[in-house]
Amino acid sequence: MSTPLRSGLYLGTVRHRRSAPRENAFRYGVYQLLLDLDELPDIDRAIGFFGYNRARPVSFHDRDHMGDTGEPVRDKLARWLRGQGRELGDSRVMLLTNPRVLGYVFNPVSYFFCLDAAGGLRFTVAEVFNTFGEAYCYLLDGVEAVGGRAVRSKVDKQFHVSPFMPIEGVRYEWIVTPPGERLTIHIDEFEAGEKYFDVTLNLTRQPLTGATLGRAMLRYPHLTARTIFLIHWQAAKLWAKRVPFFRKPEPPDNGLGGWQPGRRRGRWRTS
């Protein structure tokens, strides 16, 4: 009997709530993959319609994360962390992300959980993408405990995500739980010390198998294309509510080599 994968499939919901300058809220069902970066070749062999760095109905490609190069994601992550004064060492890395579906990929946020030998959370890297083909990483290394295993990290906003949200004077507070049977990530966004927006991702784990992944795909057909459609649908609603518009500045450089500004990450790819 083969050894069960440490990687998993997570099903649940994502909720966004805005309180100012206009109220807006929504909740959608989602699934995401939690991928042990050391298991990617094993997942390729175990699930016939999953491909690692090759075309399949569902696939994961190294160049979709931490810079648009074909190097292994773990190597790129280790190099980026070194630039932040951290060493990845022999940490296990679990990546929570959307895979490519029929060659198309878009991820609002992907999370790299860097775990110690006992499975404890050393730190998390949040890789944020926008619809302009740009990406930025935040190092979440807070140690403030927030009920159980969750930890809180506070970082200044640096990266343009939505034209209906400012950057100047904005601060994020991230509450992250390490992956287990349940996985929760909560983000509060503050402007001048006043909270005006929050996001909550609530997920429950299932084993990652061909059967569970197939059922998730039937439940949420073409998840990645659906994600980009819903982003633009919500933007249209904010525009109709006359929420102030902020022009996109030049993206900051935080050491992600290989990204080409203006090259859309949400796109069709077959290889």
For residue 11, which of 217, 176, 150 has the smallest C-alpha distance? 217
One pLDDT digit (tens) per residue for the chain, 271 residues:
467 889 999 999 999 999 999 999 999 999 999 999 999 999 999 999 999 999 999 999 999 999 988 899 999 999 999 999 999 999 999 999 999 999 999 999 999 999 988 888 999 999 999 998 899 999 999 888 887 788 999 999 999 999 999 999 999 999 999 899 999 999 999 999 999 999 999 999 999 999 999 999 999 988 888 888 989 999 998 999 998 888 998 888 877 754 443 334 454 443 3
170 found inside a domain = yes
Is residue 77 a part of any domain in this protein?
A: yes
* CA proximity to 186, closest of 218, 231, 152: 152
- Residue pair 170/160 in contact (Cβ under 8 Å)? The answer is no
Q: Is residue 141 part of a domain?
A: yes
Tell me if 1 is assigned to some domain: no
Q: Is 43 among the domain residues?
A: yes
Residue 240 domain boundaries: 8-268
Whole-number Å distance between alpha carbons of 125 and 233: 28
187 within 8 A of 121, measured Cβ to Cβ: no
* Alpha helices for the chain (secondary structure H): 40-46, 73-83, 210-219, 223-240
Which of 37, 77, 82, 81 shows the shortest CA–CA distance to 60? Answer: 37
Q: Integer distance in angstroms from the first to the last C-alpha of the chain?
A: 32
Based on the structure, what is the number of domains in the chain? 1
Instruction: Report if residue 214 sits inside a domain.
Output: yes
Q: Is residue 3 part of a domain?
A: no
Tokens (6 digits) for 145 = 């405990």
pTM of the predicted protein model? 0.92
Distance CA 135, CA 162 (A): 13
User: Does residue 195 form part of some domain?
Assistant: yes
